Structure 1
Amino acid sequence: MKKASFINLVLLLIYSMGFAQVKVSGVVKDEHNETVPFANIIFVGSNTGTVSDENGKFYLESNKTYTKIEVSFLGYETKIIPIKSRDFNLIITLKESASQLKEVFIYSGKVKKKGNPAIAILKKIWAKKRQNGIYLFDQYEYKKYEKLEFDLNNIDSVMKKSKLFKGMEFVFEGVDTSRITGKSFLPIFINESVYKSYGKNKGGRRLREDLIANKNSGFDTNQNVIAFIKDLYVDYNIYDSYIKIFDKSFVSPISKAAGVSTYNYVLRDSAFIDNKWCYNILYYPRRKNELTFKGDFWVNDTTFAVKEINMQATRSANINWVKDIYIEQEFEVLNDSIFLLKRDYMLSDFSLNKKEKSKGMYGRRTTMYKDYKFNEVKEAKFYSKEVNVYDANIYNKTADYWNLNRQEKLNKNEQGIYKMLDTLKTVPKFKQIYNLISILGSGYIELNNFDFGPIYSTFGKNDVEGMRLRIGGRTFFGSNDTWRIQAYTAYGFKDNKFKYGVSGKWMLDPKSRFIIGGGNRRDIEQIGVSLTTTNDILGRSFASSSFFASGDNSKLTSINLSNIYMSIESKHNLEFKLGASFRTLKSASPETFNLDYWIDKENNNKKSELTQSELNFSIRYRPNRKTIGYGVERNEVTDTYSTLFLNYSRGIKGVFNSDFDYQKVQFYYRQPILIGGFGRMFTTFEAGKIFGEVPLGLLSVVPGNQSYFTIENTYALLNYYEFVTDTYASLHIEHNFNGRLFSRIPLLRKLNLREIIGVKGVLGSVSDENKVLNASSTINYIAPTKGYYEYSVGIGNIFKVFRIDFSWRGNYKEIPGANNFTVKGAFGFYF
């Protein structure tokens, strides 16, 4: 027994020596017991350090053993503190330096720009930034390895004993500690990818990235979760003025446009790194509540290329659901003048609030680069070719392949994720939790090979149907199904009628995404809530099922729509679609609304039901759109791409007793614009024209919004059918400043509110021939020939989830019953 104990003790000592670490945490204060934000903490005799946060708190660790830390800040005496290998909750008090008191008093902690050596170095970085790394070469290529991980954090004894984890206690065997925050965490998801990347700089920058291998654990069958995770992490360049993270523009510490006006810079140290003499510059924000970082970077003294950089987002930054963001980048020295990105690490701490002990989830991305090659000539068409991401070999690589191609080995806990999740999936309680999350995310309840839903459309209400109950579902054998059938039925308790819709689609060729489809729908709909129309069988307007609506909401139409189509994506995100449709339209409430048109006005002969056959051809281009999956239905990774849509429709009289012969052309363009640190603007332009005589049911109705909620691409102050056109042009502009203005107002700063302004306008006409055709006794043909416009001011991020908009009508105020002012709101979860 003694011998076994001795052996165990020796093994324990060997293990401890092999994995010796030092971990320290604490808070930095001054002599008045006030916290010192952005103080510099470093292990004595090393380049490993950190910066305290806005509340003076810090955490620091190293795989090497150190016995002292150095704590310093401008205007205070530097202090050296002895530490233990595990030394937490230190309270470090800095004493004001007599020689610097005057400077601190005058500049209130801000560092002077004039004569500051750090600023002089920064200017040289700006001058050289296009002469470093891959920018030196016409063409380049490299291998990239990417690892995405998600972990539950702040694991404690209370969580381990929680009833939520009863029967799943084994998962806590994988608990680890973050080297960044010092918090315990439990890995729950990992995704690994290997890419081969190619690029060119001259003659227009181009980039091609081929996915070579991919594997993941955790939520591998839920494409919505994976799409969300992929959207969180996009590539960025520290030399750009702004770094986009979670759809927000953070000012880069290397920014030429806004760096000096946003950050304080201090030249802290100089040393050899990889045999290159480098300067160390500390930076921290001049103001709170802005999208900024704190940290430091090392820069070479001759090329002025950044060798290493650490960036930690300030907790006061106006961003929701994220407590911390931490970024590290390391650059490899190829020779005297070439610094190449070697490793990029990003950690995000997602949490409902920013309190220190609040539980949440880490999202971590590690990207590594190797095998750079330069000026291996490739023709322009090479960069247009796309890898077949549907190749099953990409997703079925062997363990030997991954061991060889991982640029960073998985640690013990990461290796255990795959095994742990396989085990978890056999636990009934985990299946229940997983299914609940899946239902909330997708809106569907999974039942073997059939999904019931979407559950969010189950209940509705309108003036014709009264309370409306809807049930439906879809086939689902997997996220990459090549075919899908969807159907629903609904019942109105006021009109006592059943409605239904059924559609199907089949992808014949995954590579070109050649799809055929069709369906039929008989339902009640509020037509005229979108200028650019489609023949989507299962699409039903929001106005048809609104629980909360203002004004008269009885102008509903009974529609019987059938269509068939085929589409092909000849180039990535470029879709061509050809289809045919047949529809009948009639009023759903003839006593209050009708679609009547004249057949023979002289003899008082009119018709109340419209029958129409139509051919459609459309082109849709969505550059930079990212999707996940390769089935007949895919999930979008982000919605911030631009969209161009061109549609041509031809009504054919006589086919299946069709009533009218006409041609319709429609154009739609939506463009998001990221304006650096001033937020994001969305612009939407639509135009269309109908050639030929058509009745009300086929005209382009300017979309009104009689709900109490803000709805995109509608006019907040217009009622349904207030304006009708056969020729129109519409422009919507909305800009969200993301708190840029409110962050400078002391009383509003802590609320993290966001300012939104918008203007919408439409110009249109309706021909005399179409006016003469109208026999409706409930709709007057009024077109915005003078150009209608409205403008709005909004406040977003109220309680992080609510937005309120105040809108004013700009003209056409004399129309009877016109709304000149309204207040509408909207709920949403945004970073």
Structure 2
Amino acid sequence: MKKLIYFLLLSFPLVAFAQNKLKVSEAGTENPVAGASVFCSKKLIGRTNYEGVLTFKTKCTKVDVKAAGFYDDEAVVDRVMEVSLAKVDPKVQSIETVLINDSSDPLALAILKKVNDNYKDNSPLSLDSYSFKSYEKISLDLDEDSIKQYNTFLQHRLDSLSLLPTVQVSEQKKKDSTESVNVLKLMSESKLFLWERASEFLYSKKYGEKINILDNRVAGLKDPIYEMMTLRSNRNTMPREIREENRSLYRFFLTDSIEIEGRKNYVIRFRQVDYKQPLNKRRFNGYLYVDAETYGLKKLESNSKKKSEGSITSIWKPMDGKWFLSKENLKIKMGSTVFDSKNAQDETKDQKQKFGNYVYMMADYFDFKSPIDVQSKDFSGYTMSVQNADGKSLDAFRTDSLSAREKLSYEKIDSVGKKYKLDQKISGFSGLIRGKFRAGQVDFDLSQVIKYNLYEGAMLGIAAKLNERFHPYISPDAYIAYGFKDHNWKYGAGLDVKTTLQKNSFFRAEYYRDVMAAGRFSENLWNFRMKIMNAGIDLKNDRFYSYDGFKLSFEHDLNNDLTLRASAKKDREEATFDYDFMQRGARFQNFATQLTLKYSPRSKNIMTPAGKFTYEQNYPEFFFNYEQGLNALGGDLQYSRFDALAQHSFKTKAGVTGLRLYGGIVTGETPIWHHFTMNGLGAADGSGFNYNLTSFLGFATMESGKYFNDKFAGFYITHRIPWYFRTFGKTTSSFDIIYRGVSGDMKDPEQHNFEFSKLDHLYQEVGFEVNHFLGTPFNLGFFYRVGYYATDAFKENFAVQLKLNVLGF
């Protein structure tokens, strides 16, 4: 899925109306290929001259190139194009080889360094303001060259089936057989999937980015896939092929310079490091055009090692001294449709007939304007908004007319989508992005299925919530779980009532009976990734308290950046461990109010029928909680609890730095579970080998549940060294240096009659983390305790930690 999502973010150019120049050369030798035929939709445009060059005009988005003795190839239409054809003769290919140094050309790397250094200055984001529009089209279809072959095969297959003797089968099997044949016929007439989108992009340094979906339509679906609307290309990001962290995956060579529209461009070709070099394959995976004056990217073409696997092309254009993405094109293989059939010579043997399925994407960006008249109302609401989703106005934005297969796609697949309820099935994909499993009107929370901590042991649970298919405004939910160590059931139920469908705003009422680790830092308004990372913080902790009661709350997005939640709760709370607070016991009634704020000025959101979706989490982010316990409505406790968290990440030439600052303070008289534990991850008794999973705020070398404070401040600093190397597979590894610390105090520790320590000096640990360890999706970290709390025993100070790389810093 990750691969599909990544490639859907990439490219396809559109109609070229000016003069186009194509140069055709022989792969390996780069000698010109004269007489190569160039076709547009199977119609001959012309043939290359003795220099291997053809100048022409066409409205086609791409052309096919054919020459005797060479494999066919294709090129995305642009002002200047280059194609390298590989020879067909296997005897020649087996003898001749191309030897290339297994290291990049220093001149090419020097140019790429300047591309990186000048990227921000060349980016449109360095302008005060701009606007432009786009038209995008994504489809899933058979390979264009094999459609005729598929139709011939299908007709023979249907003819063969009609000659078979009639066999009595059940009605269900007969229905399945008929539907299978209908799907086969559908593939011969239309695409398997088609989605069009027209968008408007606005940018202001003062207000940020605003994306208006002017119209969009998905064949087979009544409602659009809102999460799919957020998929983007390298429009404002560095292409992955030349990112510094991926540099070790490719070898780069400065091979030429070329003039395009009066501007000199360096031609840098590249190949994957594991790319073998026989002449029956391309010498390079792709090439870059880099503007010699500004070091801005002009063009990128990247091909798979096998021609049949796909290709990607992106083209930029200069405007106001910046480089705007102008065209994108993608073709990538996504599996095959396979049929079993009898061998013509031996009917006892089966043979398979395969037809490749490909994802095609094209995008055209146009109507560029800078500067623009900036008004705050144009940037109101969330980052992305949907103005229309029925496809009726797409004709006004199409820069590439629909083919016959595409026109039939809306007619054919719309009827199939309605019959097979594709809307409900596709919505399951959008649910998984949010950590939910969708089944009709019900969403199941995947994070609640299984948990583990030292007090409850393994805990199995189920949490279900009725979604917008049940009711657009009202959403009940419930959960139940069982701990196999404490042998207790936990459960709860709630009800959300939305005040509007335009943004995140709802009232909530809930009842619960559950347990929680004493002193947990607030996780209010944390996203799914942050909560998952912090889920293992209590693996070795048994200091828990039980609570049951009810809560009323209201959550509201004041704007795209700021979210507010206000709540009031009445709980009955009790320690599950041996504890006494001020000789008043371990059980209390608590009435408290709470205010939570989340400020995320650079994150990007879209409102969907399922609720707000943050499609791009950007830093900095700030979280603030204020809880007030009151001697009212039966409450026994009078206290104030504040906590705050700030996180930021930034990149410099020295590497990528992540910073997390957090802290809290409690005033008044309240039991230990309303104070703060210092988030130790090690065994409570400090014995044994110290191995643990990462957590958002935890310390790998600290004993779990040992330290409690009523005031504290902590920090987490990580720095990625800008040295990226390849171990196994197609991922790159790197090293992070980590420094974590926390300190605080406890005013009256004698009020809490149980065994613990206050942490009133700076607790420090340093770490060294290997990212993508041995090419796996995990990071392996080694940590050591230093400073005041360090001991003489190496084993007590040392810890090993494992982290899933996708969780971030």
The normalised TM-score by structure 1 is: 0.68
Moved more, 381-390 or 727-736: 381-390
- Provide, for residues 682-734 of structure 1, a one-character-per-residue CA deviation record: whole Å limited to 9, x for no partner: 32211222233332111011123358422333222333322212222211123
Say if 1:172 and 1:186, in contact at 8 Å, map to a contact too: no
Letter in 2 for 1:670: Q
Q: Secondary structure at the match of 2:227?
A: helix
Which ranges in structure 2 are unaligned for 5 or more consecutive residues?
1-21, 54-65, 74-84, 158-172, 276-283, 336-352, 683-690
1:647 corresponds to which residue?
Answer: 625
1-side partners of 2:44 and 2:571: how far apart?
71
Does residue 1:505 correspond to 2:501, yes or no? Answer: no
344, 354, 364: which one aligns with 2:327:
344
291, 309, 327: which one aligns with 2:299:
309
When residues 197 and 44 of structure 1 are mapped into structure 2, their CA distance, relative to the original with a 3 A threshold, is farther
1:585 corresponds to which residue?
Answer: 573
Letter in 2 for 1:788: Q
2-side partners of 1:830 and 1:360: how far apart?
34
2:650 corresponds to which residue?
Answer: 673
2-side partners of 1:637 and 1:192: how far apart?
20
Deviation at 1:528, TM superposition (A): 3.8
Deviation at 1:371, TM superposition (A): 3.3
Deviation at 1:807, TM superposition (A): 2.6
Deviation at 1:329, TM superposition (A): 0.9
1:53 corresponds to which residue?
Answer: none
Letter in 2 for 1:90: K
Deviation at 1:508, TM superposition (A): 0.7
1:144 corresponds to which residue?
Answer: 134
2-side partners of 1:538 and 1:120: how far apart?
40
When residues 47 and 525 of structure 1 are mapped into structure 2, their CA distance, relative to the original with a 3 A threshold, is farther
1-side partners of 2:489 and 2:627: how far apart?
30
2-side partners of 1:152 and 1:464: how far apart?
55
2:243 corresponds to which residue?
Answer: 250
Letter in 2 for 1:297: Y
When residues 495 and 120 of structure 1 are mapped into structure 2, their CA distance, relative to the original with a 3 A threshold, is closer
When residues 228 and 780 of structure 1 are mapped into structure 2, their CA distance, relative to the original with a 3 A threshold, is farther
When residues 559 and 448 of structure 1 are mapped into structure 2, their CA distance, relative to the original with a 3 A threshold, is same
Letter in 2 for 1:768: K
262, 266, 283: which one aligns with 1:281:
266
Letter in 2 for 1:567: E
Moved more, 717-726 or 487-496: 487-496
Say if 1:24 and 1:86, in contact at 8 Å, map to a contact too: no
When residues 368 and 91 of structure 1 are mapped into structure 2, their CA distance, relative to the original with a 3 A threshold, is same
682, 691, 696: which one aligns with 1:712:
696
1:327 corresponds to which residue?
Answer: 313
Does residue 1:789 correspond to 2:791, yes or no? Answer: no
Q: Secondary structure at the match of 1:665?
A: strand
Q: Secondary structure at the match of 2:757?
A: coil
When residues 543 and 608 of structure 1 are mapped into structure 2, their CA distance, relative to the original with a 3 A threshold, is farther
Does residue 1:471 correspond to 2:462, yes or no? Answer: yes
Deviation at 1:799, TM superposition (A): 5.1
1:702 corresponds to which residue?
Answer: 678
- Provide, for residues 298-319 of structure 1, a one-character-per-residue CA deviation record: whole Å limited to 9, x for no partner: 869xx87979523327879xxx
1:216 corresponds to which residue?
Answer: 218
2-side partners of 1:791 and 1:132: how far apart?
36
761, 779, 783: which one aligns with 1:803:
779
2-side partners of 1:712 and 1:420: how far apart?
49
Deviation at 1:90, TM superposition (A): 3.2
2-side partners of 1:819 and 1:532: how far apart?
29
- Provide, for residues 600-630 of structure 1, a one-character-per-residue CA deviation record: whole Å limited to 9, x for no partner: xxxxx33111332222222211123223433
- Provide, for residues 311-349 of structure 1, a one-character-per-residue CA deviation record: whole Å limited to 9, x for no partner: 327879xxxxx98762321538x9xx9898573204374
When residues 786 and 298 of structure 1 are mapped into structure 2, their CA distance, relative to the original with a 3 A threshold, is closer
Does residue 1:193 correspond to 2:194, yes or no? Answer: no
Deviation at 1:565, TM superposition (A): 1.7
Letter in 1 for 2:132: Y
1:233 corresponds to which residue?
Answer: 233
Q: Secondary structure at the match of 1:647?
A: strand
2:254 corresponds to which residue?
Answer: 265
When residues 191 and 428 of structure 1 are mapped into structure 2, their CA distance, relative to the original with a 3 A threshold, is closer
When residues 648 and 636 of structure 1 are mapped into structure 2, their CA distance, relative to the original with a 3 A threshold, is same
1:763 corresponds to which residue?
Answer: 742
When residues 580 and 830 of structure 1 are mapped into structure 2, their CA distance, relative to the original with a 3 A threshold, is closer
2-side partners of 1:782 and 1:492: how far apart?
30
When residues 472 and 295 of structure 1 are mapped into structure 2, their CA distance, relative to the original with a 3 A threshold, is same
556, 576, 580: which one aligns with 1:596:
580
1-side partners of 2:759 and 2:354: how far apart?
56
Deviation at 1:555, TM superposition (A): 2.7
2-side partners of 1:131 and 1:476: how far apart?
44
Does residue 1:825 correspond to 2:809, yes or no? Answer: no
1:4 corresponds to which residue?
Answer: none
366, 371, 383: which one aligns with 1:370:
366
1:403 corresponds to which residue?
Answer: 395
1:571 corresponds to which residue?
Answer: 559
Which ranges in structure 1 are unaligned for 5 or more consecutive residues?
1-22, 29-35, 50-59, 73-79, 177-184, 238-242, 317-321, 599-604
1:19 corresponds to which residue?
Answer: none
Deviation at 1:61, TM superposition (A): 11
1-side partners of 2:617 and 2:417: how far apart?
32
Say if 2:596 and 2:626, in contact at 8 Å, map to a contact too: yes
Letter in 1 for 2:740: G
- Provide, for residues 760-805 of structure 1, a one-character-per-residue CA deviation record: whole Å limited to 9, x for no partner: 4233223332x121112xx313215233334232342545433333
Letter in 2 for 1:664: R
RMSD between superposed Cα atoms in Å: 5.7
Say if 2:207 and 2:376, in contact at 8 Å, map to a contact too: no
2-side partners of 1:174 and 1:148: how far apart?
18
2-side partners of 1:751 and 1:252: how far apart?
12
Deviation at 1:491, TM superposition (A): 3.2
2-side partners of 1:134 and 1:765: how far apart?
42
Letter in 2 for 1:562: F
Letter in 1 for 2:769: V
1-side partners of 2:492 and 2:639: how far apart?
27
- Provide, for residues 750-769 of structure 1, a one-character-per-residue CA deviation record: whole Å limited to 9, x for no partner: 67452342424233223332
1:634 corresponds to which residue?
Answer: 612
2-side partners of 1:565 and 1:233: how far apart?
39
Say if 1:168 and 1:424, in contact at 8 Å, map to a contact too: no
The normalised TM-score by structure 2 is: 0.70
Deviation at 1:658, TM superposition (A): 2.1
1-side partners of 2:556 and 2:650: how far apart?
29
Deviation at 1:475, TM superposition (A): 0.7
Say if 2:23 and 2:52, in contact at 8 Å, map to a contact too: no
Letter in 1 for 2:575: S
Does residue 1:481 correspond to 2:472, yes or no? Answer: yes
Structural mapping, 1:34-73, within 5 Å: 36=28, 44=34, 64-66=45-47
Does residue 1:689 correspond to 2:680, yes or no? Answer: no
Q: Secondary structure at the match of 2:680?
A: coil
1-side partners of 2:781 and 2:562: how far apart?
35
2-side partners of 1:365 and 1:571: how far apart?
33
Say if 1:595 and 1:609, in contact at 8 Å, map to a contact too: no
When residues 282 and 661 of structure 1 are mapped into structure 2, their CA distance, relative to the original with a 3 A threshold, is same
When residues 266 and 561 of structure 1 are mapped into structure 2, their CA distance, relative to the original with a 3 A threshold, is farther
Q: Secondary structure at the match of 1:772?
A: helix
Greater relative contact order (Cα < 8 A, sep 6+): 2
2-side partners of 1:447 and 1:370: how far apart?
41
2:80 corresponds to which residue?
Answer: none
When residues 171 and 500 of structure 1 are mapped into structure 2, their CA distance, relative to the original with a 3 A threshold, is same
Q: Percent identity?
A: 14
2:8 corresponds to which residue?
Answer: none
Deviation at 1:394, TM superposition (A): 1.6
2:342 corresponds to which residue?
Answer: none
